[in-house]
Amino acid sequence: MVKYKDSLGKALILWIIGLFPLLFSVIVEALNFPEYVINVMYGVSTFIGGLLCLFVANKKYDIKIKDHNWKLNFWSLILIIGFSFFYNMSVMSIIRKDFLIEVYGEKDIVPLSLLIGSSIFGPIGEELIYRYGIFTALKGKSSNMFRIIVSILISSIIFMIIHFNFGFIRMIDLFVFGVIACLIFIATKNLLYCIIFHSIANAVDYGSLIFFSKVRYNEKICKNYFLNFFNMNLFRK
């Protein structure tokens, strides 16, 4: 029991460390900075939180980078990319569509910064925090199936909690997403596959807005994309 409490304590500390940089993005939002600045800041702060989590886990909790595989196998990569795309497109059309349209679909512009932040910086940071840090801290070196299952469930619940403002159905979706990411991590022992899975999921979410929302592609959009690129705006009616 003591060992379990110790593992849970490590996981919670790594979670706090990983979330701490997000305070800066909250401050930026409270100061009413432009939306593209807020989007970029959120993604970058999540990325920084992931790096801090990695550093502390490596130095203090003996969760070593060298213990993980960081090489990508071509066929495994193709499998992960294909699975992530079709899984997330399926879930997108069933669960996420209405939520994203409600939040972004009424806008004339879908910020490029949102796509970049959520598809590049965010997935790296969150996978370092939730899979590399929290899940590994909970699981430890154990190969006990019960402990592995509990570690998957707890880490996925923690991942779900941080997205509490997304609504109940979306949170269940995120819990399942966390479970899948953990299973990928267990099967491959390679966090890069989890990052790719996560990155494609977010790219599918926000990239699909062009199809599911009022935002549509036409010649005017193409022209405005280049005109507004440096303003970090992607699609305009």
* Token pair belonging to 53: 């989590």
Helices (H) and strands (E) in the chain, counts: 13, 2
- Using CA atoms, how far apart are residues 159 and 129, in angstroms rounded to an integer? 9
Alpha helix positions (H), 61-167 = 74-91, 97-100, 112-116, 122-127, 136-139, 145-161
- Using CA atoms, how far apart are residues 121 and 46, in angstroms rounded to an integer? 7
- Using CA atoms, how far apart are residues 158 and 34, in angstroms rounded to an integer? 30
Do residues 50 and 129 make contact, with C-beta atoms less than 8 angstroms apart? yes
Q: What is the pLDDT of residue 185?
A: 95
Q: Which H or E run contains 233?
A: strand 233-235
- Using CA atoms, how far apart are residues 43 and 175, in angstroms rounded to an integer? 20
Name which residue leads in pLDDT, 76 or 216: 76
**In sequence order, which residues have a C-beta less than 8 Å from that of residue 10 and are 6 or more positions away?**
61, 137, 138
Tens digits of residue pLDDT in 105-146:
555 455 566 777 788 888 999 999 999 999 999 998 888 899
Amino acid at site 95: I
- The C-alpha torsion from 23 through 25 and 29 to 33, rounded to 10°, is 140
Please check the confidence at residue 92 and state whether its pLDDT lies above 80. Answer: no
Global confidence as pTM:
0.83
What does the DSSP assignment read for 122-135? HHHHHHIIIIIIII
Owner of token pair 């401050």: 27
Q: What is the pLDDT of residue 46?
A: 92
Do residues 51 and 162 make contact, with C-beta atoms less than 8 angstroms apart? no
Q: What is the pLDDT of residue 226?
A: 41
pLDDT band of 84, cuts 50, 70, 90 = very high
Tens digits of residue pLDDT in 170-219:
788 899 999 999 999 999 989 999 999 999 998 887 777 655 554 444 43
Do residues 156 and 26 make contact, with C-beta atoms less than 8 angstroms apart? no
